[in-house]
Structure 1
Amino acid sequence: MKNKINKRLRRKNLHNKAYTDKNNNRIRVFFLLALLIISYTLTQILHLYKSKPSRLQEEIAKEIIRFHVVANSDSDEDQNLKYQVKDAVLKTLYPYLKDVDNINHARAILKEKLPLIEEVASKVIKDKGYTYSVLASYSNCYFPLKVYGDYTFPPGTYQAVQVKIGKAQGKNWWCVMFPPLCFVDETYSIVSSESEKKLSFLLTDEELDALKTKRLPVKVKFKLFAALKNLFC
């Protein structure tokens, strides 16, 4: 009699365990599907959130030329030399660009003046007692977010005049060469009315509004999305 009771209890326990395991599997499947749906939804939200600002950056970049000076190193002497080179180059280029209101014209001038830029930079370097080489080029460069007075330029790839000093392993200096924001106030605390007019002429209302209201691409990180990525990637 006792053995029969024990067998019944064992069968009942096995049945309960099977039922519990079945429920647990259902719960696991439910949560897995929920995580997959959430992951997909977040991915779509991120894509939609970033796509429009990215397109704005690309449109803005079509009308902007940046200026980029890279120091030989991060030593105080090399950083100071970088600023002296920057000042001399900007002073030289200003007369050629001050009345230009077309990016194609500005691009043509800057490409033509690359040898002059190298000559001016080399003279400054030599006069200061250094023997660093200089390379001036016109290329596409990535720039981080940068604020000029009331305008915030989104990070991304822009056309740029780049000046590399020596090993070019030091901190950079950059600004907007066209329209000529570089020539106004190097602290970027103000943007002249003339430069504002040129920006208004070159950019659409939407692009200009994006610069002034700082509607820029922002990297948003969701902890859940990161966790899902670790699970499924």
Structure 2
Amino acid sequence: MKQRHSLIDWKKRLFVALYSSFIVTVFLLSWEAHFFYPQYETTASANVISSSGVQIEIPEEAIRLRIKSNSQSPEDQQLKLTIRNEVNRYIRSWTEESSDVDEAREIIKAKLPEIEEVIKKAMTKANVFSPFTVDLKEVDFPTKQYGDRIYPAGDYEAVYIEIGEGLGDNWWCVLFPPLCFIDSGGEEANGEAEEEETDEDVEISFFLVEVIQSLWTKLTT
């Protein structure tokens, strides 16, 4: 009997040690991700904060940039981001000194052939020769969330670029006033996505509880 009690005590001490190690490991992994990989943390608040720390809102009169990739393939998605960077940089260099949206609109209209050349160069560099279109027009936008603000779906003026068949994910930001530099793509407001994330968190929590309970049962029997 005494030997059995000693065995149970030993199992309990082992369980406590393993459980403590588990907690410490989770904490360290969380700390490591926060310290070494802050870019993977939520960026919702950063999307509406400028480099000077001033919160910025999208004005009613703004010109957006929307790009639709050819497909969901990693290559097409990467090309979309490359074109985004090049087009955004060129247009910003033209519109940064614009005093109002009308002036920015006229500049962009006049520069559309140059924007086409920017896209061609980016595609040639990537060894991609898909057809594409670029235009300044009213474009249908989905609902989008910037931080705690939700911008409703609707038709907004935008430089619209469609690559190939345009079947991949789209990316958009605000060209004028130049807010693209604070945007990481943002996120479409989607209740389903939020619900799925919550369900996943619950499943992980239950999984951890089951692991601990199973370990305790094995150690005490």
Which TM class, normalised by the smaller chain length? Answer: 0.5 to 0.7
Name the SS of the counterpart of 2:71 in structure 1. coil
Name the SS of the counterpart of 1:160 in structure 2. strand
Structure 2: distance between partners of 1:62 and 1:185: 18
Partner residue of 2:24?
none
1:94 Cα offset (Å): 1.2
Structure 2: distance between partners of 1:184 and 1:124: 22
Larger Rg: 1
CA change 1:68–1:187 in 2 (3 A) is closer
Q: Which has the higher contact order (CA 8 A, sep 6+)?
A: 2
1:77-88 equivalent positions in 2, closer than 5 A? 77-88=75-86
Q: Which runs of 5+ in 2 are unaligned?
A: 1-57, 188-221
Q: Deviations over 1:134-174 (max 9, x none)?
A: 21101111111223345432211101110111222211111
Structure 2: distance between partners of 1:98 and 1:84: 21
Q: CA RMSD in A?
A: 2.1
1:133 Cα offset (Å): 1.8
> 179, 182, 189: which is aligned to 2:180?
182
Contact 1:101 / 1:179 at 8 angstroms: preserved in 2? Answer: no
1:187 Cα offset (Å): 5.3
Structure 2: distance between partners of 1:126 and 1:171: 21
1:199-218 equivalent positions in 2, closer than 5 A? none
- Identity rate of aligned residues, in percent? 39
Name the SS of the counterpart of 1:169 in structure 2. coil
Structure 1: distance between partners of 2:155 and 2:185: 23
Name the SS of the counterpart of 1:100 in structure 2. coil
Name the SS of the counterpart of 1:136 in structure 2. strand
Contact 1:68 / 1:160 at 8 angstroms: preserved in 2? Answer: yes
Q: Structure 2-normalised TM-score? A: 0.54
Partner residue of 1:99?
97
Partner residue of 2:115?
117
CA change 1:183–1:101 in 2 (3 A) is farther
1:70-81 equivalent positions in 2, closer than 5 A? 70-81=68-79
Partner residue of 2:29?
none
Q: Deviations over 1:84-123 (max 9, x none)?
A: 0100111111111112231101111111111111110111
